[in-house]
Structure 1
Amino acid sequence: MLQAVLFDLDGTLLDTAVDFTTVLNHMLSERGQALQDYAAVRQRVSDGARTVVQLGFHQQDDLAGLLDEFLDRYLKQVSVSTTLFPGMTDVLNHIEERGLRWGIVTNKPLRFTTPLLAAMQLTERCSTVICPDHVTHKKPHPEPIYLACKEIDCLPVNTIYIGDHQRDIDAGRNANMRTVACRYGYISAADNLDSWGANYIVDTATDLIPLITQLHQS
């Protein structure tokens, strides 16, 4: 029986791409370079900030310096336009109403995750938050998943992991956990979710509600 739900953060629980786009375009504008649209940035957020910076600045010599600047700027406006994905409020309410626990396993560093969750008023609601700072190996290694399960006192077999990237599904599978792939997330045209090996695929966040109900009752 399902006892807990774990989420990836960017592209699964929260839509952070607008803030990433804003920061990148401010930097590009200041340097007189072509701006990037939201759709292009959205497809790269799940691959990390370095990939977002490379989208705008390509392989410039000072890429490391540009990345540092990007991260510093992002930290200052980490939650200006970020929102829960449509329907996710109902999903979290549904999880809590059924007496289940939920948490976050993300590759987003702790220094960004902590203020972001606080601003979204999620800190007190989630039972665990695992970032790369807490482990030796990040996703797709199963270590973060195992640590999250330990913190919420729940076996992986009684937990599901929900994500929008191949490594999310790999991490869950590596931990012998059922997984859910999200088509509504930061999916690129090249992504074939059917090939990821997820146990379930959802088109919208709202689709998680009947799935969670089914798994909790079985």
Structure 2
Amino acid sequence: MTASVFPKAALFDLDGTLLDSAPDFLATANRMREARGVAPMALDELRPYVSRGARAMLGAVFPDAGQADREARVPEFLNIYQGEIGRHGLPFDGVAALLETLENNGVAWGIVTNKPEYLAREILPHCGWETRCAVLIGGDTLAERKPHPLPLLAAAERIGIGPADCVYVGDDERDIVAARAAGMRSIAALWGYRLDGEMPAEWGADAAVERPAQLLDATAWPRRR
């Protein structure tokens, strides 16, 4: 029997996968609500929407606002969030040990997120990742974003490792869709952000993991097809 080994490269979603950024977004949301005389919201009200981006979060923050009003507030949301980055959120428990284990086993790791690249890059120094992350692709880096496979394919190309030798880890269905279209194995991060009723078992991931610490074991990573 062939011994289990880590993949040559591990690519990760950011919000809800590596980083529990919900507290930073909550601070952003409540600053905007306060400015409009609206009572603060609780973390549990916002958390399920974080992986879906600014527009989805604004829908939760201002449920009575029309789509045009929410769209107009996106620049304000991102500007306030930029000032809150790293002040409240932290990597999920077990992520630091996971990344160290990957590095110790010669695994290149990187980030493919739909967050704007300039905001994602601001996070790296707060986590000590700026010299360790092999590649960072944001939602505006290329002409397409997840669930399109282009960001994952570009990440693999930049680190010089074929898609079949990469595994993508994410907490949203579009992460798994993108990985499958890119010819990568995928892991559903069950510790991330999900709306009620979402069924990760139906996403078609090659594996599903409850906690980052489980990925310290090479056997938890799906083998190359």
TM range, smaller chain: over 0.9
| Correspondences of 1:65-104 after superposition (within 5 Å) | 65-104=72-111
Match of 2:114 in 1: 107
Match of 1:63 in 2: 70
Aligned length: 218
Q: Which aligned runs of 4 or more in structure 1 are off by greater than 3 angstroms? A: 211-218
TM-score when scaled to structure 2?
Answer: 0.91
Identical positions, percent = 35
Give the superposition deviation at 1:15.
0.6
Q: Which runs of 5+ in 1 are unaligned?
A: none
The correspondence for 1:188, drawn from 195, 211, 222, is: 195
Cα distance change of structure 1 residues 24 and 94 upon mapping to structure 2, 3 Å threshold: same
Match of 1:22 in 2: 27
TM-score when scaled to structure 1?
Answer: 0.94
Q: Which runs of 5+ in 2 are unaligned?
A: none
d(CA) in 2 for partners of 1:129, 1:135: 12
d(CA) in 2 for partners of 1:169, 1:161: 8
What amino acid is the match of 2:48?
Q
2:112–2:155: 8 Å Cα contact kept in structure 1? yes
d(CA) in 1 for partners of 2:35, 2:114: 29
2:215–2:221: 8 Å Cα contact kept in structure 1? no
Cα distance change of structure 1 residues 211 and 189 upon mapping to structure 2, 3 Å threshold: farther
d(CA) in 1 for partners of 2:13, 2:165: 17
d(CA) in 2 for partners of 1:108, 1:135: 12
- Considering only aligned residues, what root-mean-square deviation do their CA atoms show, in Å? 1.9
Cα distance change of structure 1 residues 142 and 53 upon mapping to structure 2, 3 Å threshold: same
Match of 1:5 in 2: 10
Cα distance change of structure 1 residues 41 and 213 upon mapping to structure 2, 3 Å threshold: closer
Cα distance change of structure 1 residues 192 and 14 upon mapping to structure 2, 3 Å threshold: same
